[in-house]
């Protein structure tokens, strides 16, 4: 037995109040949307557990959330000189998760049409058909909700070409840190071993404070305990073993989803990292989520259904696939590939590529900078085995 759409409990249920869910809900709150929105999130509270970075001009619509920015960024291997990049008019900018969460939650709390269910876990989604309309029953551990539309931003395991696993700490030292305060270490000390490629990512936050992350590219996710041990060893190598740890962050980003994104049930749209927000070749996703939330909110406010992330343009999708296949096929050469890009592609073109704004001339420069043979081998589509634990997840 079904109930008609007119008696649905909500026009929209958003599952997951992470970056994507909060961004959309806050945007609807700011626009004073008349939609009845319910936000379902298993967390009861938020930690300062993420860092979001991107390249933008100094002034933009998110400037008030930016806590630090830098006009330079650096690539380096274990030997040879570092490669330093700058682009006139652009800065590499950092938003702390705690600042993002606080502002979004404040805006949502002030919106009378948005109800937040904190500490509530959603389970089954059951589409109920009633004529031309669909009502989705959202089963939670606190009861069911009937929604006209559902946006599912919850993380889910997905098989990928590569995984970017990282563990980071924000540290405070009694002595000045060995980092250039005007420059981000985007990919420092790149090297490979039996576990894949690894590098250090460093955001200097002051003379004695920094966020330091240890990152690996590998064919399977790296356990947190392994990453933390390797990060501790890197901090010791830098003479920072005794630095005070203020907070920790970490995660695993799938790069290049195998088999495409899952098909969503009727009335449900996938969004966030599990819905295609992450850039396959880099793992950047924050600005892509902002663009999606803007487009989705506009579609909802016009009276239409929610929309998912747009599909990747064929040229970008093809370039990302070829690059990731080449990296996976020969992880030992991956530091050389990134150094070749940093050396051979003008800084502005490389930033455009990483920021989804590459021009044909940028793609040409990327192709010209990389060794020909390893990438020619990847022109034919390649099938990767999918781990069985992910097939049935």
List the CATH number of the domain containing 193. Answer: 3.30.9.10
Taking 60 as the threshold, does the pLDDT of residue 267 lie above it? Answer: yes
Q: Which pLDDT does position 5 carry in this prediction?
A: 45
Residue 85 lies in a domain: no
- Indicate the SS3 state at residue 180: coil
Shared domain check, 115 and 42: yes
Shared domain check, 243 and 162: yes
Shared domain check, 270 and 330: no
Q: Which pLDDT does position 215 carry in this prediction?
A: 98
Shared domain check, 132 and 21: yes
Q: Which pLDDT does position 230 carry in this prediction?
A: 98
DSSP 70-90: ESEEEEEESSS--EEE--TT-
Tokens of 208: 């004695």
Residue 391 lies in a domain: no
Shared domain check, 359 and 212: no
Shared domain check, 164 and 222: yes
pLDDT band at 263 (very low <50, low <70, confident <90, very high): confident
- Residue whose C-alpha is closest to residue 110's, from 8, 15, 33: 33
Q: How far apart are CA 206 and CA 180, in angstroms?
A: 10
DSSP 141: B
Q: Where are the alpha helices (DSSP H) in the chain?
A: 19-30, 97-109, 224-237, 286-301, 314-329, 334-344, 347-354, 360-369, 372-376, 388-391
Number of neighbouring beta carbons within 10 Å of residue 360: 8
Shared domain check, 197 and 275: no
Domain-terminating residue out of 301, 326, 355: 301
Q: Which pLDDT does position 132 carry in this prediction?
A: 66
Number of neighbouring beta carbons within 10 Å of residue 322: 20
Contact between 200 and 185 under an 8 Å Cβ cutoff? The reply is yes
pLDDT band at 388 (very low <50, low <70, confident <90, very high): very low
Which residues, 6+ apart, have CB-to-CB distance to 166 below 8 Å? 201, 213, 214, 215, 216, 227, 250, 251, 252, 253
Domain residue limits at 190: 158-256
Residue 214 lies in a domain: yes
Which residues, 6+ apart, have CB-to-CB distance to 152 below 8 Å? 15, 16, 125, 264, 268, 269, 270, 271, 274, 275
Residue 56 lies in a domain: no
According to DSSP, the residues that pair with 193 across neighbouring strands are 196
Tokens of 232: 């501790």
Shared domain check, 16 and 123: yes
Shared domain check, 289 and 179: no
According to DSSP, the residues that pair with 66 across neighbouring strands are 95
Shared domain check, 331 and 215: no
Give the whole-number percent of the chain exceeding pLDDT 90: 85
Residue 205 lies in a domain: yes
Sort 385 into a burial class: Cβ within 10 Å, 0-12 / 13-18 / 19+: exposed
Q: What is the mean pLDDT of residues 208-228?
A: 97
Tokens of 70: 């830098």
Q: What is the mean pLDDT of residues 141-158?
A: 95
DSSP 131: T
Residue 54 lies in a domain: no
Query: What is the pTM for the complete model shown?
Result: 0.92
| Domains of the chain: total | 3
Shared domain check, 224 and 183: yes
Residue 105 lies in a domain: yes
CA angle 325, 310, 108 (to 5 degrees): 120
- Residue whose C-alpha is closest to residue 250's, from 36, 3, 34, 51: 51
Residue 269 lies in a domain: yes
């Amino acid at each position: 037995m079904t109930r008609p759409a007119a008696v649905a409990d909500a026009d929209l249920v958003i599952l997951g109040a992470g970056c994507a869910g909060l961004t959309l809900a806050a945007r609807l709150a700011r626009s004073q949307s008349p939609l009845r929105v319910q936000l379902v999130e298993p967390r009861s509270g938020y930690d300062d557990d993420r860092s979001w970075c991107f390249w933008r001009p100094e002034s933009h619509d998110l400037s008030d959330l930016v806590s630090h920015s830098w006009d330079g960024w650096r690539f380096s291997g274990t030997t040879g000189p570092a490669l330093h990049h700058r682009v006139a008019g652009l800065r590499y900018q950092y938003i702390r998760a705690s600042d993002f969460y606080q502002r979004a939650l404040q805006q949502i709390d002030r919106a009378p049409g948005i109800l937040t269910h904190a500490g509530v876990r959603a389970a089954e989604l059951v589409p109920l058909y009633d004529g031309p309309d669909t009502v989705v029953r959202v089963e939670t551990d606190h009861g069911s909700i009937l929604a006209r539309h559902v946006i599912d931003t919850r993380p889910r395991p997905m098989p990928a070409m590569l995984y970017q696993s990282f563990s980071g700490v924000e540290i405070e030292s009694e002595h000045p840190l060995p980092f250039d305060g005007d420059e981000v270490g985007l990919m420092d000390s790149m090297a490979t071993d039996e576990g894949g490629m690894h590098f250090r990512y460093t955001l200097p936050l002051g003379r004695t404070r920094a966020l330091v992350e240890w990152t690996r590219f590998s064919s399977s996710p790296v356990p947190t305990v392994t990453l933390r041990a390797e990060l501790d060893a890197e901090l010791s190598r830098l003479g920072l073993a005794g630095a005070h740890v203020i907070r920790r962050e970490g995660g695993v980003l799938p790069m290049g989803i195998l088999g495409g994104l899952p098909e969503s049930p009727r009335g449900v749209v996938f969004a966030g990292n599990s819905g295609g927000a992450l850039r396959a070749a880099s793992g950047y996703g924050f600005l892509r989520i902002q663009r999606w939330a803007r487009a989705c909110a506009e579609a909802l406010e016009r009276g239409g259904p929610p929309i998912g992330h747009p599909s990747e343009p064929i040229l970008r999708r093809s370039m990302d696939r070829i690059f990731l296949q080449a990296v996976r096929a020969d992880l030992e050469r991956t530091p050389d590939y990134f150094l070749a890009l940093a050396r051979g592609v003008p800084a502005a073109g490389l930033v455009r590529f990483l920021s989804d704004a590459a021009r044909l001339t940028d793609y040409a420069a990327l192709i010209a900078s990389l060794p020909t043979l390893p990438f020619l081998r990847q022109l034919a589509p390649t099938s990767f085995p999918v781990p069985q634990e992910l097939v049935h997840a």
